[in-house]
Amino acid sequence: MFGGSSISYSRSKGQPRCPLREKYLQKKNSELSDRFIPMRSAMDFSYAHYMLTTEGNKIKESEGEPSAYQKVLAEALNMNRTRILAFRKKPPKPVDFFPPENSSTSVHSTKSKPQRHIPQKSERTLDAPDIVDDFYLNGLDWGCNNVVSIALGNRVYLWDASDSSTSELVTVDDEIGPVTSVSWAPDGQHLAIGLNNSEIQVWDSVSNRKVRTLIGCHSGRVGSLAWKNNNILTTGGMDGQIVNNDVRIPSHVVGTYRGHRLEVCGLKWSTSGQQLASGGNDNLVHIWDRSMASSNSPRQWLHRLEDHNAAVKAMSWCPFQSNLLATGGGEGDGTIKFWNSHTGACLNSVVTGSQVSALLWSKNEGELLSSHGSPENQLTLWKYPSM
């Protein structure tokens, strides 16, 4: 009873409850039978009656070889058979109530996946004069709106990949430059710019205006940036500090992570926003829980990973396995390592032959792209997990 009325689910006797099941049962009754129950349709009852009574037994039980007349009579009456009852020789194939998912007769059969073509030459080459040659800086970022931001000395340029247009966003004064890092917010509209004088600026790329300047976060250049969402910007400085900034409020510093002894050159938030990975010039990787910022505990980090032998700048969270983190070491290390962020265990280590400057997981394939500096300066596409 609901709302003063009742709903009846009774069915008439002549109406089947499930048409698909009725069809299945009909097919089962018509095609399936037990091997140990005689099949009436395959038996000759006249012959069976004859063999079980007089004449048949007389011929079978007569001593000695049967006469020529008896042989002809037996062949004419088909009495050379040894069985009276007829059975199926083999059990029937099972009838699936629903066709298997990988059946070739399925309506939704999957087509073979076409082989991808991976070009060996670049599709486009952009001039980048005055780009700062410094491994520890992060002067390039590609936003969700298909716009690339790049720091060239004291300037930041935007290149729109959809129409190949280029525009200058900002030129900073020599006193505060050069630009040491850039990072797009998740909205693809706001761009954070780290500067050599420890300041951070936030720009609106649509209106080409500066919307915020963050000061007092660091005592040296800001070489790494990472947005947690559109409001929280995490910054890493040469002073080894990691700071969470809320760009909406005047007192923007809302949390600090302490653990690196030298410059922080890599920062990445996990997809869930629960964990932060940081890499430094002290060869360390830290994994932080978001709740650990500004805690009074002397040990803030969730995991401290010490397996790299050079600075760790490259890091990327796996998009299809939330607790998988890939990190890359500098020239003295040259390895890509994979970590379980829940346990801190190193799952694999791969030697690349060059310093690892950046890592990027594919969102559509089980692959990882790595970019490298000295000595090979190569791009490498890896198949995960075989590598």
Residue 117 — pLDDT band, cuts 50, 70, 90?
Answer: confident
Higher pLDDT, 19 or 311: 311
Among the ranges given (39-53, 117-131, 308-322), the one the predictor scored with the smallest mean pLDDT: 39-53
Report residue 70 as tokens. Answer: 């008896």
DSSP state, residue 2: B
Which strand ranges, in their side-by-side order, compose the sheet holding 140-142? 140-142, 147-152, 155-160, 165-171
Distance from C-alpha of 247 to C-alpha of 276, rounded to nearest angstrom: 18
**Segment 153-160 mean pLDDT:** 98
- The yes-or-no verdict on residue 380 having pLDDT over 50 is yes
Q: Are 254 and 242 in contact (CB under 8 A)?
A: no
Overall average pLDDT of the 155-171 stretch: 97
Decide: 286 and 275 in contact? Cβ < 8 Å.
no
Q: What percent of the chain has pLDDT over 90?
A: 65
- Domains belonging to the chain, first-starting first, are 135-269 (2.130.10.10), 285-386 (no CATH)
Q: Is 217 left (phi over 0), alpha (psi -120 to 50) or beta?
A: alpha
